[in-house]
Structure 1
């Protein structure tokens, strides 16, 4: 079955906005979101090959050297599905975009 990389995205300004909320409000969102995330993973367990994880600040390596970088990637997951459409549909109700301030999940097939 085809494998897909799903990359959670979140704009830096949305992270900042979330972190500017009162701590109690952040904690309430986190508590609700973590429960829903676990339920999503349980519902889709048969499609998940690698739970991946959330990631921190980016370091970019180029021909010119190593520098700090900014992008919207904040985590990833590896799944399998019949096709790209089926893979994408798995994320329509994902807590990353329905509870947390994530702006999307980019789903792309592995081609090698």
Structure 2
């Protein structure tokens, strides 16, 4: 088994694609259903990503990008981890939404 980090990217135009309260509630219910279906694999169900800072050796700055949430899962392979997110409600919420699934290998000691 291995650890995989899922980064959820939003593709929505924030000015056009606001959800109604009912749509938001339906989405959260769908997300909870997805999480329950993958409960054994979820190491961290994640959370939204808000204020962001970029740090370099010479400065710290605020920045924005399309990353809006994360999750951490345990899976037997990279492909298995990716398949886990194929039916995640996030990918169908707005055109352009996507999920990156990144392997987090064990660092040898």
Give the conservation status (yes or no) of the 8 Å contact 1:4–1:78: yes
CA distance in 1, matches of 2:53, 2:13: 20
CA distance in 2, matches of 1:59, 1:106: 20
C-alpha change, 1:53 and 1:101, in structure 2 (3 Å) is farther
C-alpha change, 1:16 and 1:59, in structure 2 (3 Å) is farther
TM-score, normalising length from structure 2?
0.87
Instruction: Report whether the alignment pairs 1:26 with 2:25.
Output: no
Aligned residue in 1 for 2:9: 9
TM-score, normalising length from structure 1?
0.85
**Structure 1 unaligned residues grouped into runs of 5+:** 20-24
CA distance in 2, matches of 1:102, 1:96: 10
Aligned residue in 2 for 1:64: 58
**Structure 2 unaligned residues grouped into runs of 5+:** none
Aligned Cα root-mean-square deviation (Å): 1.7
Runs of 4+ with deviation above 4 angstroms: none
Larger fraction in helix? 1
Instruction: Report whether the alignment pairs 1:109 with 2:109.
Output: no
C-alpha change, 1:102 and 1:32, in structure 2 (3 Å) is farther
Aligned residue in 2 for 1:22: none
